[in-house]
Chain A
């Protein structure tokens, strides 16, 4: 919300600097986003706290002046010469302002025109350049006439973008007065919190300033006795659902001629961000900005006509099935059954609290105005706004809750402003229907409550004094305060909620800054370890140690992106958690395949690096039938491709990463977690090469799958010129935890020397090395402490379908040195076992 300082000062005395006031507002919860100077100066303090822009008007160079006569320019049609008095002297000033042309050559003006006049050397904005470009007025000759000063447009003074004509001030502006003193201002851009809609108006902010600074609040008048004929009998109100429309008020003004508002009013509206239209529309907008009560003006004659000359009956009701209304913005709108309409007997006039209808709109031809002030159920208004996708200043306020007490006050004050700024006779009295009166909550707050929640000691009297500053009506009873909520706000609840609401008000006005900070003195709550998180952290750390780059990708994806990780013709993946309102088709559901996400990152970086090794730890989402929420297990996906070694200057060629590079990563990872009994068995998973894929188990628990990506799946990704295979793994991280031992026992370092021995055996090509190793370990028993395969050989001398596996074996005993006969025996045992079980032959 844009808040001009001058307007605020109508209701509260302020002797703070612009920045100090911004500080007060921010400390009250009215966060100042920026300050726009419109003439006023801002002291620059050492501690910068706000963004300040704008123009300061120099008091001696920019003043109120009067134009006494407008004369034609001898050499130019589009320029005029003004006889101008700046309070010091008479002079001739050149201008091209079109809004002076009507006075050209008409002789001395009966009423001088008051203008904003910039003397030589004044710093203003250049009116001819886009945006705000500072310029200094210098002496120049324009078409043969000397020019050194200027009558200014709003743009040149930083008020608005308006540069069509010069500013014409109100007639009572004192000639010669520095313009900054006459109308210098500063506009505060304030964020209004959702529970502070009461402060989306100047009076509301003034109340906060008064409360924070201890000054008195001067409210606009609330008591009116217009001289016009009574309104009674000129219209009537029928509210069909008081819950949706607790109050409806009508006032009447007659013999109005819409005309421009006084310049100062136009200026205020403009500074507050609204466009002045005519004094009737301006008055309703002004009132909304002033009090926070949105009003709606109907053309009374249109209503009379629709009612066949009889006094109109204003009906509020929800929309009928299929009902439509063309709103002020010229859009024909289909209405929802809960939409509340303001109607007469002939049909709908406006969407209640949101936007008026076109037919009964006020125009320049309007002479008599029926003015509506009402209050609406804010939840219903919000629903209407969200269904119709229709926002307005009125809807913004009504959808957050406007107190019904503001309706009659707003209508009367607005009618008074209309009659002040133009002609017209205000009818005496109002038509007021208030079937669902609001009961303002009375909340009891004790000294103990304040101490318990805020941590400060205040007496009941002090608490009451703080709340009274915000217009709460307070009675002190012992150590408690009974506080009645003032009739301009709906944000205070009852009971325990009301207590919290009041505590916030006490804290705010007391000042968050004044509440002392302390360190929690409670004992620490019971310890609940989070082993899942610890395992994840360990996995992450270990994979980083192993040289992999972690990625974190979007969890939102689409079927097409996910299907890329499957071979062509595979069944479409699913089912998915699908969004009802995706922001883009490619982010329309929650992923099931973490590897699909990681592969996108491989693709993205394929041309950037010759060695790629990525992993991601994150959830995937599986819908469940028996639970509205999906299962969200945490997965680990790894993808590696490219060269094993990075190219250096020595030109050593590098092989491509292969299955066993990935396997080393996984072995190291599982080993670092002390997961034992891990087996790798050939597996068939559709994303992988059928001959290069393994299932990873720890005992009976399947930990995941790894392998070389299927060539047809790899082909789904654009990996540039590289032909290297892609190695990938998908692991059920959520299962890791159960496979980690509760306790890891340290082993003693052996003191007796080991015996190392090599053993080469010839087996069938189809015999997996793990089976051979298993047989060696089984036969060797405790004596064999390490088995390391160090060579695989295939050749004619072995015969077709055979391979030789060479192992380096370590024999060791914890309690004595091995003898030759020990090693001889174990070696024979191993050889026998390999021969018998696997048909192996010792290789000579």
Chain B
């Protein structure tokens, strides 16, 4: 029994010594040293297991059971202590690792669309919702498409409305508006009904200034059908203005003149800068002109291959640069094509 007693005592002593020693272990290294000492091959517990065969047969189960209890107790104490130490280490690290969060982020090169592409994309999206498909036509045009077929014969006073760049090839010019696309679209689509948007770059012989450019975009709408009235023009364009400028925007449609539409009109929206009170943007008028429009002239329908006694339609044109200028308060139209990054980077 003394031997028996001795091994039990050794185990009890081992446990009693190990647990306080574990409390002393303050870091991962000490922890590992403790583990080697108290749970390693030469530790009292493991010795008890390895010497089990030398113990009398009848008490072997009791010794095994006892040794196992001690081992489990030490292991679980180790696990708890180990967890605590990891947590302490983490807490220390968290307290020490402090960033200056005010330092700027690492700069990344960023891509951007040109503001004009963005504006056109916005318009296309709105027009697509309204059923208009994009139809593009050439920028260098014939006099016929740009003028004559649009009911603007040579030397007609209406030609004064467009200052034109002519090319050295007689009868060709840089289109002054997107309207030549009207007849081109009609000739290609006849006899289908039409609902297209004609976008693109146009050119005017004009000194450039903060307000005028030699090249500028236009987006023109053309609708041709068997049941299209001035009421449709009003409704569609009012819808368009609301989608672009907001649901509550007030619009006004006043008579105007274009040789290729009749009746013709111009649509103004209430100045969204001053709300109609009068400011520098609307030149104190309270209104901003946003588009010209009208019912397609019978001569133009005829030139496009549609019988004006059966077909009717409307057209409308707007200037995206001008719309962007109003929207963003851009003071000089020349910014658009000069592409200074300090301008471009303002738009994303």
Contacts and interface: CB of A to CB of B under 8 A. Distances in A.
B103 interface: yes
A292 B346 CA distance: 52
A300 interface: no
Given A524-B131, A524-B195, A452 B229 contact: yes
Given A48-B278, A628-B171, A540 B113 contact: yes
Interface in B157-180: 157-158, 160-161, 165-169, 171-172, 174
A51 B239 CA distance: 27
Contacts of A142: none
A544 B112 contact: yes
B213 to A, nearest CB: 9
B235 A520 contact: yes
A497 B285 contact: no
A78 to B, nearest CB: 40
Contacts of B305: none
A528 B133 contact: yes
Contacts of B277: 48
Q: Which of B141, B189, B232, B277 has the most CB of A within 10 A?
A: B232
A605 B341 CA distance: 7
Nearest to A613: B109
A737 to B, nearest CB: 14
B269 interface: no
Nearest to B265: A512
Contacts of B298: 496-497, 499-500
Interface string A176-189: 00000000000000
Contact of B140 (A580, A590, A605): A590
Interface stretch (B5-13, B43-51, B253-261, B323-331): B253-261
Contacts of B234: 512, 515-518
Nearest to A28: B255
Interface in A488-513: 496-497, 499-501, 503-504, 507-508, 512-513
Contact of A382 (B155, B169, B285): B155
A587 B214 CA distance: 10
Given A522-B228, A524-B195, A27 B168 contact: no
A530 B231 contact: no
Given A530-B135, A580-B166, A583-B207, A379 B229 contact: no
B276 interface: yes
B339 A551 contact: yes
Interface residues of A, number: 107
B65 interface: no
Interface string A512-536: 1101111111111111111011000
Q: Which of B112, B121, B257, B283 has the most CB of A within 10 A?
A: B257
A666 to B, nearest CB: 15
B85 to A, nearest CB: 34
A49 B112 contact: no
Given A379-B155, A619-B139, A518 B231 contact: yes
Contacts of A629: 138, 140-142, 172
A550 B259 CA distance: 37
Contacts of B192: 525-526
A609 B227 CA distance: 56
B108 A646 contact: yes
B249 interface: no
B223 A515 contact: no
B117 interface: yes
Nearest to B185: A528
Nearest to A192: B257
A515 B206 contact: no
Contact of A195 (B169, B203, B257, B278): B257
B344 interface: yes
Interface residues of B, number: 102
A648 B104 CA distance: 8
Contacts of B256: 29, 31, 193
Given A501-B262, A555-B201, A581 B135 contact: no
Nearest to B169: A628
A220 interface: no
A517 B235 contact: yes
A495 to B, nearest CB: 9
Given A193-B257, A520-B232, A527-B133, A577 B287 contact: no
A218 B135 CA distance: 51
A50 B227 CA distance: 36
A630 interface: yes
A47 interface: yes
Interface string A414-438: 0000000000000000000000000
B109 A530 contact: no
A611 interface: yes
B297 A500 contact: yes
Contacts of A26: 254
A649 B103 contact: yes
A643 to B, nearest CB: 9
B263 interface: yes
Contact of A550 (B113, B136, B231): B113
Interface in A596-654: 601, 604-605, 608-609, 611-614, 619, 621, 623, 628-630, 632, 645-650
Interface in B163-219: 165-169, 171-172, 174, 189, 192-195, 201, 203, 205-207, 214-215
A500 B262 contact: yes
A328 interface: no
Given A453-B295, A579-B168, A27 B254 contact: yes
Contact of B214 (A528, A556, A609): A556
Contact of B254 (A31, A52, A197, A380): A31
Contacts of B138: 629-630, 632
B299 interface: yes
Contact of A630 (B133, B140, B227): B140
A578 interface: yes
A583 B206 contact: yes
A454 B223 CA distance: 15
Contact of A516 (B231, B253, B259): B231
B60 interface: no
A570 interface: no
Contact of A648 (B107, B156, B194): B107
B166 A581 contact: yes
A197 B156 CA distance: 13
A533 B235 CA distance: 28
Contact of B111 (A197, A526, A546): A546
Interface in B38-89: none
Contacts of A609: 341
A549 interface: yes
Contacts of A605: 339-341
A378 interface: yes
A653 B106 CA distance: 13
Contacts of A193: 255-257
Contacts of B104: 648-649
B15 interface: no
B286 A553 contact: no
Given A520-B131, A543-B111, A647-B107, 5 more contacts: A29-B256, A194-B161, A532-B136, A580-B167, A649-B104
21 contacts: A48-B285, A452-B229, A454-B231, A508-B263, A517-B231, A520-B195, A520-B235, A526-B192, A537-B121, A546-B111, A550-B111, A552-B337, A579-B166, A579-B167, A583-B205, A604-B339, A604-B340, A628-B169, A647-B107, A648-B105, A649-B103
Interface of A: 26-29, 31, 47-52, 193-197, 378-380, 382-383, 386, 399-401, 451-456, 496-497, 499-501, 503-504, 507-508, 512-513, 515-530, 532-533, 537, 540, 543-556, 577-583, 587, 590, 601, 604-605, 608-609, 611-614, 619, 621, 623, 628-630, 632, 645-650
- 6 interchain residue pairs of minimum CB distance: A455-B229, A29-B255, A455-B231, A646-B107, A544-B111, A517-B235
